[in-house]
Structure 1
Amino acid sequence: LPPRDICVSAPTGSGKTLAYVIPIVESLKPRIMRAIRAVVVLPVKELAAQVQAVFQQYLRGTSLRSQLVTGTKPFSEEQLSLVHKNARGYSSLVDIIVATPGRLLDHIRKTPGFSLHLLKFFVLDEADRVIEDVRTTLIPEVEQAVEPAQKLLYSATLTQDPEKLQSLMLFQPKLFTAAGKRDPAVERAAFAGKYTTPQGLSEFYRVVQNAKKPLALWDLVANRGYTGTLCFTGTKDDAHRLCLVIKEMGGVRVEEFSSDLSATERARVLRRFASGGLDLLVCSNVLARGLDVANVRNVVCYDPPKYVKTYVHRVGRTARAGVPGTAVTFLRQGQLEAFQTMLSSAGKSPVEALEEGEAGLEVFHEKYRVALKAVEAAVGREKKEVQIGKKFK
């Protein structure tokens, strides 16, 4: 019989990457002929690069090779790093592929000699996010392997949708769960498929008016010791405006992180945050999934997420690898009941109120008013520059 497939649901930061990297490396060490025997599929380039770095670390001292395939290099350059043509045909240059779905499919269809026929392991990291991308395209290719490849699914929010799971053609799948901070009264049988947050995570909410949210965030970081904070906003425009306001208020080293930044700019900002050069990183949802950002001591959800899955991935950016962390969600009056109901649906205990509400913010109102006025002027200038640029184009 083929090996049973594996589904793993565990909190972010609990070591899911090592849970497949080490077994894959140990299993492939004795191989004689080089061939693609393991493929790891991830939803975004940045996360794939992080996983590739982990593989590189554990492949030292072995003859195994891994290759990153995400489109960051020209397609022809990637082809040359994957296969070699000789007198007898094509031979593989790698044992392990770390890829994003679209780029992997491109090589399957367009790269001569690229073959998954000897595939042994097929890993879906952030599985619930990549299922839609692979079930009708990559799965049929994986099923053509000479011997059935073992499929391994990993996520903090593993789907229970029967239709989606059936499309992956799993063989007698085994579910492994690692509970984080939950109500101890919840039995394991009720846990399967629930969403988990790290054990060392302290969760709070803060009730604040929409108009005062930027001031409340600045107050947390500047006056209450919440440095090393990652703040999630709904859109990149929100992130941009919020970052401008915090800068105008002063006293906080802050940068924004969104899809508008180039890969080089993203890497620079993340390095600065990880090294302690920033007190606050304001970002859109681009960072909520998967990326392991170093030195995140606190997470602020600027708006309450609509879905518990989104909440789990956001707050899971802190309290990783056993290090304590804090998550604060900003709520308006009237949002608390819906927020607590959403969390209880995932088997989580109620979140406590942060002691500091809007009290104490009044003293900064004039400073805040001046900052808002300056930001409105700056945003107006930016819009004019964009319009002028469009005219010249």
Structure 2
Amino acid sequence: MGREEDDKAERETDCVVPWMRTPVDVSNVENWALETLPCLNPKLKKALEKMGISSLFPVQVAVWHETIGPGGFERDLCVNSPTGSGKTLSYALPIVQSLASRAVRCLRALVVLPTRDLALQVKEVFDAIAPAVGLTVGSAVGQSSIAGEISQLIKTPKLDAGICYDPEDISQNLESAVDILVATPGRLMDHINNTKGFTLEHLRYLVVDETDRLLREAYQSWLPTVLKLTQTSDNGLFPSSSPFVPSTFGSLQTVRRQSVERGFKGKPYPRLAKMVLSATLTKDPSKLIQLDLHHPLFMTTGESRYRLPEKLECLRLICETELKPVYLVALLKSWEGEKSIIFTSSVESTRRLCKLLNFFGDSKIRAKEYSGGLNQSVRSKELKAFRKGDIQVLVASDALTRGMDVKGVTNVINYDMPPFAKTFIHRAGRTARAGQAGKCYTILSDHEVRRFSKLLKKVGSGSCPIYSIPPATFDAVRATYEPALEKLQESVESEAPRKRRQALKHNPRTGNYKTKRSKTTSEQA
């Protein structure tokens, strides 16, 4: 989807499905200590404590009540909650708890996410709690070869030596080696189409995380394929006229249905329960209908679609366009090595800005690039170093905006102004996570100030004061700017022949390549 379509989609908020007009307000729920959480498996409680968790956040408590509590997974859940509020554990914990009592190993829970890094991060959460109750978690993200994934996902029956087996008999006896699968849509489709023994016929739970992005892009029609493979023939089991009654559980009101039959008539498995989540959940009926939700319950924090983390402080710097790098370095120097993420508008801008920062020669500013222009192994390596603190600054494209959780990120900087309100929400949400404090700075040129003010109104930020760099700090950085810029220019020129050769290689029909008028190096940085 292009920017014009995306912007139009953001503006279309008047047409809302009826069930979204009466949400459960999660902001009215308080943290609950693990000791007071009803029905929590003691083994899961110990696993959570090993993770350093002693209580659950409001969204986690609310989802627990609607799944393991009186809600009993009777309705599909749509969760719109700020970044850093704990959405991953909110679905991981009840799914693991509900599967713990089943002895047969088969694929019963599927979690789909838009990117590899996010999928691997979510798998780490499941890995921390699922083994405690004997469950196995697998991943299908394309990080390793598909053959390697198949060996982890599918269990081959033991064969006696010296006996000749029919390959068809072997394939019919293949079994799932995992109870829970965390996947990206492309690799999921690879396994659905090509992997013998891979089946969704026993699936009980489907989680669609970062829903708005997964619905915006087709990803090989993964969603209709999954729903078709898990459909049942009895679609009239729950008539729309079934009465609903409110019940109160702690501080949260839940909505339950009287006399609900949990399973399908004549079917060995209950219905496919769905949970969809995002910090910027779409309200577009044409998109939500694709999910085929069952009496959905909308859970959100407040009335606004967009909500920033509670302890986030927003600040802005206004400067001349050509001096943006100077303001940026002056900011970084003042923080004495605090973990910071800098967001740019493109892969190329990310690469050049990262190089420029390192050309300043300040030992306190060690910057690395994180963007879609790098392969998965390099991105994972840089992210691991950033998490450990070996790198203080990560210069990122919007590949890092959604869901990625890095502890200890104190500052987020919008080097390039975010184009949309939801982009700002996801970028800012890399700090001030899990109840911690954080700051989000946006560097603006004069002509961007008005547009940024409109964006702030959309995200509900009532305050974004101007931040001023001390003159002495600014002057000291500016003195080193020209030498750094010259080094960047030399680097860019040295790369040009290589890129030209790559362009020629990738266009064998024409034997040429197209170029646009280049911006100045400072503009590109």
The 2-side partners of 1:66 and 1:360 are apart by 51
The 1-side partners of 2:274 and 2:110 are apart by 10
The 1-side partners of 2:230 and 2:471 are apart by 55
Q: 2:114 matched to 1:51?
A: no
| Equivalence for 1:37 | 108
The more displaced of 255-264 and 29-38 is 255-264
Q: 1:349 to 1:391 in 2, by over 3 A?
A: closer
Any unmatched runs of 5+ in structure 2? 1-71, 158-168, 233-266, 507-525
Which of residues 279, 286, 290 in structure 1 aligns to 2:392? Answer: 279
Which of residues 303, 306, 325 in structure 1 aligns to 2:416? Answer: 303
Which of residues 478, 486, 510 in structure 2 aligns to 1:373? Answer: 486
Residue identity opposite 1:208 in structure 2: C
After superposition, residues 105-184 of structure 1 pair within 5 angstroms as: 105-131=189-215, 132-133=217-218, 134-144=222-232, 146-178=269-301
Please give the per-residue CA displacement for 1:40-85, whole angstroms capped at 9, x wherever unaligned.
0010111111111111110233221111111222223322322335
Residue identity opposite 2:306 in structure 1: Y
Please give the per-residue CA displacement for 1:258-296, whole angstroms capped at 9, x wherever unaligned.
223232222221122222222211111111112112321
Please give the per-residue CA displacement for 1:111-168, whole angstroms capped at 9, x wherever unaligned.
2222212211100111111124444333322335953211101110000000100111
Which of residues 255, 267, 292 in structure 1 aligns to 2:380? Answer: 267
The 1-side partners of 2:477 and 2:195 are apart by 61
The more displaced of 109-118 and 157-166 is 109-118
Give TM-score scaled by structure 2 length: 0.68
Identity of aligned residues (%): 35
| Equivalence for 1:181 | none
Please give the per-residue CA displacement for 1:7-46, whole angstroms capped at 9, x wherever unaligned.
1111111111100111011000010211111000010111
| Equivalence for 1:60 | 131
Please give the per-residue CA displacement for 1:192-213, whole angstroms capped at 9, x wherever unaligned.
xx11111111111110121111
Please give the per-residue CA displacement for 1:73-112, whole angstroms capped at 9, x wherever unaligned.
2223322322335467332221111101111122122222
Q: How many residues align?
A: 381
Secondary structure of 1:61's partner? helix
Per the TM alignment, residue 225 of structure 1 is displaced from its structure 2 partner at its CA by 4.3
Q: 1:112 to 1:272 in 2, by over 3 A?
A: closer
Residue identity opposite 1:342 in structure 2: L
The 1-side partners of 2:381 and 2:143 are apart by 16
Residue identity opposite 1:92 in structure 2: S
Secondary structure of 1:264's partner? helix
The more displaced of 120-129 and 69-78 is 69-78
| Equivalence for 2:458 | 345
Residue identity opposite 2:151 in structure 1: L
| Equivalence for 2:141 | 70
The 2-side partners of 1:326 and 1:11 are apart by 15
Residue identity opposite 2:480 in structure 1: K
Per the TM alignment, residue 346 of structure 1 is displaced from its structure 2 partner at its CA by 3.2
| Equivalence for 1:18 | 89
| Equivalence for 1:185 | none
Per the TM alignment, residue 360 of structure 1 is displaced from its structure 2 partner at its CA by 5.3
Q: 2:283 matched to 1:195?
A: no
| Equivalence for 2:360 | 249
The 2-side partners of 1:30 and 1:364 are apart by 61
Per the TM alignment, residue 239 of structure 1 is displaced from its structure 2 partner at its CA by 1.3
The more displaced of 24-33 and 222-231 is 222-231
Secondary structure of 1:151's partner? strand
**Residues 330 and 473 in structure 2, CA contact (< 8 A), matched pair in contact too:** no
The 2-side partners of 1:157 and 1:199 are apart by 16
The 2-side partners of 1:150 and 1:387 are apart by 52
Q: 1:36 to 1:84 in 2, by over 3 A?
A: same
The 1-side partners of 2:143 and 2:478 are apart by 46
| Equivalence for 1:239 | 350
Per the TM alignment, residue 357 of structure 1 is displaced from its structure 2 partner at its CA by 8.0
The 1-side partners of 2:102 and 2:178 are apart by 12
Q: 1:377 to 1:115 in 2, by over 3 A?
A: same
The 2-side partners of 1:143 and 1:357 are apart by 63
Which one has a bigger Cα radius of gyration?
Answer: 2
Q: 1:236 to 1:287 in 2, by over 3 A?
A: same
Per the TM alignment, residue 244 of structure 1 is displaced from its structure 2 partner at its CA by 1.7
Q: 1:160 to 1:240 in 2, by over 3 A?
A: same
Secondary structure of 2:345's partner? coil
Residue identity opposite 1:273 in structure 2: F
The 1-side partners of 2:505 and 2:450 are apart by 51
The 2-side partners of 1:9 and 1:391 are apart by 47
Any unmatched runs of 5+ in structure 1? 179-187
**Residues 212 and 282 in structure 2, CA contact (< 8 A), matched pair in contact too:** yes
